[in-house]
Amino acid sequence: MSAATPAHPSGHLDEKLRLYRGDIIDGRYEVVRRVARGGMAEVWAVRHRAIDQEFAMKLLAPVCGVGDDTLSRFELEARVSAMLGRRSHHIVPVIDYGVHEGRPYLVMPLLDGPSLEEVLAKGPLPLKDTVCIVEQVARALTVAHASFVLHRDLKAGNVILSTEEGELVARVTDFGLAKPDDQAHLAHAHHTLKGVVLGTPLSMSPEQARGEPLDARCDVWGLSCLAYRCVTGSDPFFGRSVREVLLHVVSGEFQRPSSIAKHLPLTLDPVFQRAFAEKLDDRFPTADSFSRAFAESARPSQ
């Protein structure tokens, strides 16, 4: 049990929206421990009382207000993740959705591995592992894009790693900023206002930074940023402020991987030069095309 998970207090009005060990949600989920906490949401391990199995539950953080926009986002994430999770082993599925005391929640399998963000905090990954992760994340994106869904916030924190039968498995999660194409026919789809910028600046494509219409190539950009960080230990675009980061993003200024990590093959450099090309049509058109080029460039020369 995590020491950071508080026991239930005697009760104060300002604590009424917080969760504590032993709290019951919707009559069937018992709160066990907090797994993660972000600015907009918390993730808790909960036990389904009827089947005695633990799941992960994502809830809107108590400090965030709940409006129609927030509820529609959570509902859309539930519908998208449930649909995509049935179609790909590399996407974390949502298996339940509800609202508890005004706070929307999603229920997912409780995975036993760390996020890629946690792994990269210890340093860059071997090329072999990176190729494996990039390939599997590309598979997830291929399924999402074939289903007319853009993730729009692909980053290391949204990739969960685990080991199954001795093999590394990567899964994409957090479709909270997902945007369905008009062809997706998802009811109650959330529509982003034109010019509104959503996402993480360090992995945001130039088009996304400018608030322009997006297609699947925004996620290919995110995958490229993820691959770059895996092999170098650094983000391709950085700065002292969000504005400075975005200026580098839109200008395509980045350091060649081989100049950061001398052990990396020079063949990686042109792959990222194409991935971060200033003109959209000069970049890789699909996640699979980037994955294949990355894997080919990472192979030892014969």
| Tens-place pLDDT, residues 26-73 | 999 999 999 988 777 899 999 999 999 999 999 987 656 566 677 888
Query: Where are the CATH 3.30.200.20 domain residues in the chain?
Result: 16-109
CATH superfamily of 116-298: Transferase(Phosphotransferase) domain 1 (1.10.510.10)
| pLDDT confidence of residue 296 | 97
| pLDDT confidence of residue 155 | 94
Question: Do 169 and 136 form a contact (C-beta atoms < 8 A)?
Answer: yes
pLDDT, averaged across the chain: 85
| pLDDT confidence of residue 89 | 96
| Weakly modelled stretches of the chain, pLDDT under 70 | 1-17, 62-68, 180-199, 301-302
Percent of the chain, pLDDT > 70?
Answer: 84
| pLDDT confidence of residue 17 | 59
Tokens 């860059």 label which residue? Answer: 124
| pLDDT confidence of residue 67 | 63
Dihedral sign (CA 124, 128, 132, 135): positive
| pLDDT confidence of residue 193 | 36
Query: Where are the CATH 1.10.510.10 domain residues in the chain?
Result: 116-298
| pLDDT confidence of residue 2 | 39
| pLDDT confidence of residue 181 | 60
| pLDDT confidence of residue 7 | 52
| pLDDT confidence of residue 68 | 65
| CB proximity list for 190: less than 8 A, separation 6 or greater | 69, 72, 73, 76, 179
CATH superfamily of 16-109: Phosphorylase Kinase; domain 1 (3.30.200.20)
Angle at 117 between CA 114 and CA 121, to 5 degrees: 100
pTM: 0.86
